[in-house]
Structure 1
């Protein structure tokens, strides 16, 4: 999935193009989920595309699968530092751009929903912006929005913080696990995830963006099982062959993320059970179907490749626009029907920004960094 110059002495592997495309489908659903979130009034039962938040868990599963596929057999000729550089080159340029975009649009988001913005001096916003470029979590004392986000200029960056932790864990520990030990770790992580989903405060898997005990609890619960399960799925070689892998797996993913909230109360245990089973069983099934097709031709694969390239730029740049949209919708008490046109325009703008970022920034910067650090 990574556009890198091959490591010396290592043959570059073919991509799982369908899995790339699934990442793009999930990113689009995240944007739509966030658009509808502006009209839910904080009530999860009213949220349309209700389980869109589980896209993050799906991303972690894909990452575990793809990283294990790309790097498991390379450690004889690749150092840990070389691995870290490759991952930084792949992810960090867009992390920086996301923070810069969040800073550029920050004061346009001021209003009753975000009262701290009007009281935030420019120097403090710039400090938070530069801090966000490092991806280090921001302490609550520097929260300039009021949502307790570790990255208040670009909320979704929280999941990249955990992605980096997973990458470090892979290089130091996970890659060394035998198949038996990895299976045991996956079972323990599944129990950890199920426990939180059923007994956590909200009976769901929403959260992970706060730097406190609860935020860290759910963050690691959401990270460990899908990432380790993705690694295990790759090592077991489980694939489901299908002539229409991209269409079938995309349909299953859309349905899984769009299921209405379960239970007759906002925090009913049945919703937590669905979240856990979705991550533990349904997502691995979807990835197994997607991994069953590695063709590099055909219209569906071309579409998958386009969505795959767009996925990360879209995910990491769209939320500053969402802040503006949400503030407007809440302040003006706009209904979902009234906000539909502006929502579609925002979606188009988010895709356009992501594509421009990919073509004019992300690709050129990664090429330059790869050439500069030639062993990456």
Structure 2
């Protein structure tokens, strides 16, 4: 494997992040996912987890013991936490905004606790008006909470186990995942106090699957390039609902996402798509962590007297493009400088 392969995987991560933004817009408009053209968009999170397992295995399997737990933890904090903070600040500003915000109903101390819990990724699902999200100021932080948990598990245990033990772990996680999908009827959960444990099932299987692919070198050599892998990913996220949906969700996460990671890792990016794929990879995490303040505004706008359904054909595409551009600005002027500063300050290896 060469780093050229990761350009394809990073590009796929960017496509998945854009799909999440569109899904979050559309779930306000069409809450019934069976009628929603991107009703499986929530599965992009499972794809993120699978990619994470693969990339973490590649980056750290050979050196995590040498650098130790704390150096690994520092490296992950520097990579992930600046955008947790930025997303929390944006969520707080949106919450305080007088036109669409909701802060007037809460005391200063209540808002402060919400903000601190978001900053430090401590689940605090207390707002009924926000569907008891684990992180009311920045809803997508729920997956970062589970990403942190599995990263700790990787450093302490998964990085040290034999491939046979990893196989057993993956099989147990697969059973747990299918049970979770059957219990809820889908794999949407993990973000609320009513389905928080679904996040554990989702991250355990998908991160483990990505790690399993890396360690066993299950790489599918192909000439399909970026477009083939992207087509398979979009097929999964745009797939119509079939009955039973819990089984469809389970099969996509169990088999199709690992297949796409293997496919993307086994191909090279075409020169025409190299810069695009690299840029998509770069903006994927900033986009994921900085878009939800606008989604709350959008949800409030739908109940505004001036709202008319005909406006949505313009608002959703324009909003998505705006958020992509916004994420690029955040990446360039906040996230990257902060990471560079922290990496130097904390002597991250």
Query: What TM-score do the two structures reach when normalised by structure 1?
Result: 0.87
Give the corresponding residue for 1:187. 171
**What runs of 5+ residues in structure 2 fail to find an aligned partner?**
none
Whole-Å Cα distance in 2 between the matches of residues 303 and 55 of structure 1? 19
- 1:242/1:39 Cα in 2 relative to 1: closer, same or farther (>3 Å)? same
8 Å contact from structure 1 (residues 233, 284) kept in 2: yes
Give the corresponding residue for 2:249. 275
Correspondent of 1:239 among 191, 198, 219? 219
Correspondent of 1:149 among 126, 129, 133? 133
Per-residue CA deviations over 1:134-186 (Å, capped at 9, x if unaligned) read: 1111153xx37441011101101100000000100000111111111101111
Whole-Å Cα distance in 2 between the matches of residues 333 and 62 of structure 1? 42
1:86 equivalenced with 2:86 (yes/no) = no
1:305 equivalenced with 2:278 (yes/no) = yes
Give the corresponding residue for 2:18. 28
Q: How does 1:115-134 map to 2 (within 5 A)?
A: 117-134=103-120
8 Å contact from structure 1 (residues 117, 144) kept in 2: no
- 1:79/1:248 Cα in 2 relative to 1: closer, same or farther (>3 Å)? same
Q: Would you say how many aligned residue pairs link Structure 1 and Structure 2?
A: 348
8 Å contact from structure 2 (residues 213, 258) kept in 1: yes
Whole-Å Cα distance in 2 between the matches of residues 196 and 333 of structure 1? 41
Whole-Å Cα distance in 1 between the matches of residues 125 and 245 of structure 2? 31
Report how far residue 245 of structure 1 moved: 2.2
8 Å contact from structure 2 (residues 87, 289) kept in 1: yes
Secondary structure, counterpart of 1:176 in structure 2: coil
8 Å contact from structure 2 (residues 226, 268) kept in 1: no
8 Å contact from structure 1 (residues 197, 204) kept in 2: yes
Whole-Å Cα distance in 2 between the matches of residues 107 and 14 of structure 1? 44
RMSD in angstroms over aligned alpha carbons?
Answer: 2.1
Secondary structure, counterpart of 2:144 in structure 1: helix
Per-residue CA deviations over 1:101-152 (Å, capped at 9, x if unaligned) read: 01111144866xx8x6441234432331232111111153xx3744101110
Whole-Å Cα distance in 1 between the matches of residues 308 and 44 of structure 2? 25
Give the corresponding residue for 1:3. none
Q: Larger helix proportion, structure 1 or 2?
A: 2
Q: Which runs of 4+ in 1 moved over 3 A?
A: 12-15, 107-111, 330-337
Give the corresponding residue for 1:267. none
Report how far residue 244 of structure 1 moved: 3.2
Secondary structure, counterpart of 1:105 in structure 2: helix
Whole-Å Cα distance in 2 between the matches of residues 352 and 125 of structure 1? 29
8 Å contact from structure 2 (residues 220, 262) kept in 1: yes
- 1:144/1:361 Cα in 2 relative to 1: closer, same or farther (>3 Å)? farther
Whole-Å Cα distance in 2 between the matches of residues 375 and 46 of structure 1? 47
Secondary structure, counterpart of 1:207 in structure 2: coil
8 Å contact from structure 1 (residues 174, 182) kept in 2: yes
Give the corresponding residue for 1:138. 124
Correspondent of 1:354 among 319, 327, 331? 327
Q: How does 1:243-258 map to 2 (within 5 A)?
A: 243-258=223-238
Give the corresponding residue for 2:311. 338
**What runs of 5+ residues in structure 1 fail to find an aligned partner?**
1-11, 264-269
